[in-house]
Amino acid sequence: MRATARIGAVADGRGGTALPLLAGEGPLALRRTRGEGAEAGVMLVGAMSAPLGGDHLTVEADAGPGARLLLRSAAATLALPGRHGEPARYDVRLDLAADSAVRWLPEPLVSVRGSDLRVRTRVELAPTARLLLREEQVLGRTGEAPGLLRSRLTVNRGGRPLLDQELACGPGAPDGWDGPAGLSGHRAIGQLLVVDPEFETAPPRAAMLGPFAAATPLAGPAVLVTALAPDALQLRELLDEAWRTYGW
């Protein structure tokens, strides 16, 4: 199955944000929700079980000049095995124009035993845009071994690379992914990326946020918080604390 959700946000000229484009397909249903202040809110609602092996799902969001957009999902996404062993793909593409602000805050992605999922998130930001992006990945349901999860996050600001990283976990991933130099037995992995032009005058400092969480300033007005935890609940607590410190 192939399905795409498309979201377009524009400043409405009255201090708010309008959504002239809101179109979902298949399991990617979209619902308008309340944002905060000038934000327009959009909820991604899973209309059926997906992604299954062989599926290709895409979420595309464009924020025009001055637009404010909050994107969330209603529930966790379960990566499930398909009937013939093919990998599934889940692509997210965010495009932020000048003076826009986007918060992408999906619920966790759970890698179910026997699944094979490739996640690709790509963000293009204008130099004056702001971004708050959260990713949470859980390896297996309770008491369950994970599937194979491969994830890549690429962020360009003003046409120049800001961040490009990859992660592979589960059966078939490179050796050592779960060793002392990797996840070291943790089953929840997350990160919070905050890009804010205000950091150009007041850059955040590198800091340890716990035994398995750290904030790292990037070569640009941005900070990346990475965290490991034994479960999704503790991971969310770590990232929420980072959000209160660095986000908006």
pLDDT along the chain (248 residues), means of 10: 96 96 94 92 85 94 98 94 88 98 97 96 98 97 93 97 96 92 93 97 94 95 97 96 94
Query: What's the burial of 42, exposed, middle or buried (CB within 10 Å: 0-12/13-18/19+)?
Result: buried
* 8 A C-beta contact, residue 61 and residue 22: no
Alpha helical stretches, state H, 1-41: none
What beta strand segments (E) does the chain contain? 2-11, 17-23, 28-34, 40-46, 56-63, 68-73, 77-79, 88-96, 101-105, 109-111, 116-125, 130-139, 148-157, 160-169, 188-195, 207-210, 213-217, 222-229
User: Measured in whole angstroms, how far is the alpha carbon of residue 100 from the centre of its chain?
Assistant: 18
- Position 46 scores a pLDDT of 82
- Structure confidence at residue 47 (pLDDT): 66
pLDDT value at position 36?
A: 86
φ, ψ for residue 14 (rounded to 5)? -120, 20
Rounded to whole angstroms, the Cα distance separating 145 from 138 reads: 11
What's this model's pTM, rounded to 2 decimal places? Answer: 0.95
Q: In the chain, what's the furthest Cα-to-Cα distance?
A: 55
- One-letter amino acid at 86 equals E
